[in-house]
């Protein structure tokens, strides 16, 4: 059983002691999709102008980041790996349904090219994505429920490439659930979540029945995502993947410090 996503996804809104996206000056230098970038505003819908302002540069999507040729080559490479696995419809963490997934570090020419552009465009200097890319294959009837990626295993930036079907990614404020932002993810697009969008909002991929972008229906077919994440600060990713098995363990409060002698 692959352990890729289960460690990253944390169901619900409560946040651990996550790191903030505080390196503003350094981040400004990130090429392409740094916090000053707008992405494509037509691909975003917000519950209010305030939310739009709050998440500007922190949640963005850029269409046409990957060419159709690159998409086809990456799919050719992934199909034999994914095709061997059945879709899972009852995942224990409750965050995701109707999916199969893998992690991949070695890519052909097209994968290397597009993932290199993602690293340069979306990640801050000195905080590159980890070499293992999370490949998530969602069945047409699958969806990703609202969750915040575990702060234990994922750093300040999440960047996702979408292949095959379009979909809608919705962010919802953990503190004020009436506040949301939706991103229209066309095939070939790249989205980036960082800072408040990564820590203070849940994210989800809407199921077919709910897949609307405003008045526009976004029919959900099979959708593939290549998701790049960086490591949390001051942790060295364990190359053997020898990490705690459950998010619940990982997020547990640390034990209290020893009491001073009375």
Binding positions for ligand OGA, rule: CB under 6 A: 5, 8-9, 136, 144, 149, 160, 203, 205, 225, 227
3-class DSSP assignment, residue 215: coil
Q: Within the chain, how many helices (H) and strands (E) appear?
A: 7, 13
Site track 106-145 with Mn ion (rule: CB under 5 A), x = hit: ----------------------------------------
* CA 49 remoteness from chain centre: 24
- Which residue has 């919705």 as its token pair? 170
3-class DSSP assignment, residue 9: strand
Please tell me the distance from the alpha carbon of residue 222 to that of residue 135, in angstroms, as a whole number: 13
Nearer to ligand OGA, 110 or 161 (CB): 161
Measured from the CB of residue 162, what is the shortest distance to Mn ion in angstroms?
A: 13
Residue 190 interaction partner, one of ligand OGA, Mn ion, none, beta carbon < 5-8 Å per kind: none
Residue 59 interaction partner, one of Mn ion, ligand OGA, none, beta carbon < 5-8 Å per kind: none
Nearer to ligand OGA, 63 or 125 (CB): 63
| Cβ-proximal residue to Mn ion, closest one | 149
Nearer to ligand OGA, 46 or 158 (CB): 158
Residue 227 interaction partner, one of Mn ion, ligand OGA, none, beta carbon < 5-8 Å per kind: ligand OGA
Q: What are the two backbone dihedrals, phi and then psi, of residue 164, each rounded to the nearest 5 degrees?
A: 70, -105
Nearer to ligand OGA, 109 or 139 (CB): 139
Please classify residue 20 by burial: count the beta carbons closer than 10 Å to its beta carbon, then call 0-12 exposed, 13-18 middle and 19+ buried: exposed
Instruction: Report CA-CA distances (Å) from 73 to 38, 78, 99.
Output: 29, 9, 21
Nearer to ligand OGA, 16 or 125 (CB): 16
Measured from the CB of residue 96, what is the shortest distance to Mn ion in angstroms?
A: 9
Residue 136 interaction partner, one of ligand OGA, Mn ion, none, beta carbon < 5-8 Å per kind: ligand OGA
How crowded is residue 76: how many other Cβ atoms within 10 Å of its Cβ?
11
How crowded is residue 234: how many other Cβ atoms within 10 Å of its Cβ?
6
Q: Are 190 and 56 in contact (CB under 8 A)?
A: no
Q: Which stretch, 73-81, 84-92, 146-154, 249-257, contacts Mn ion (CB under 5 A)?
A: 146-154
Measured from the CB of residue 160, what is the shortest distance to ligand OGA in angstroms?
A: 4
Site for Mn ion (CB under 5 A): which residue of 70, 101, 137, 149?
Answer: 149
What is the dihedral sign for C-alpha 198, 199, 200, 201?
positive
**Site for Mn ion, rule CB under 5 A:** 149
């Amino acid at each position: 059983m692959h352990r890729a996503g289960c460690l990253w996804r944390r169901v619900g809104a409560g946040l651990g002691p996550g790191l903030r996206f505080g390196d503003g000056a350094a981040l400004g230098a990130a090429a392409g999709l740094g916090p000053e970038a707008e992405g494509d505003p037509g691909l975003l819908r917000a519950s209010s102008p305030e939310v739009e302002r709050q998440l500007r540069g922190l949640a963005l999507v850029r269409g046409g980041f990957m060419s159709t040729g690159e998409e086809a080559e990456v799919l050719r490479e992934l199909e034999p790996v994914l095709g061997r696995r059945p879709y899972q419809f009852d995942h224990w963490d409750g965050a995701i349904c109707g999916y199969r997934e893998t992690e991949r570090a070695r890519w052909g020419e097209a994968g290397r090219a597009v993932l290199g552009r993602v690293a340069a465009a979306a990640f801050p200097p000195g905080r590159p994505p980890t070499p293992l890319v999370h490949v998530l294959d969602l069945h047409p009837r699958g969806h990703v429920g609202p969750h915040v990626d575990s702060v234990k295993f994922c750093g300040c930036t999440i960047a996702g490439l979408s292949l095959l079907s379009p979909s809608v990614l919705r962010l919802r404020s953990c503190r004020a659930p009436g506040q949301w932002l939706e991103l229209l993810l066309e095939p070939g697009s790249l989205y980036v979540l960082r800072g408040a969008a990564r820590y203070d909002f849940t994210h989800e991929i809407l199921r077919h029945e709910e897949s609307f972008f405003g008045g526009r229906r976004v029919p959900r077919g099979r959708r593939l995502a290549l998701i790049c994440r960086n490591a949390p600060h001051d942790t060295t990713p364990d190359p053997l993947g020898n990490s705690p098995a459950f998010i619940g363990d990982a997020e547990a409060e640390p034990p209290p410090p020893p009491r001073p002698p009375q």
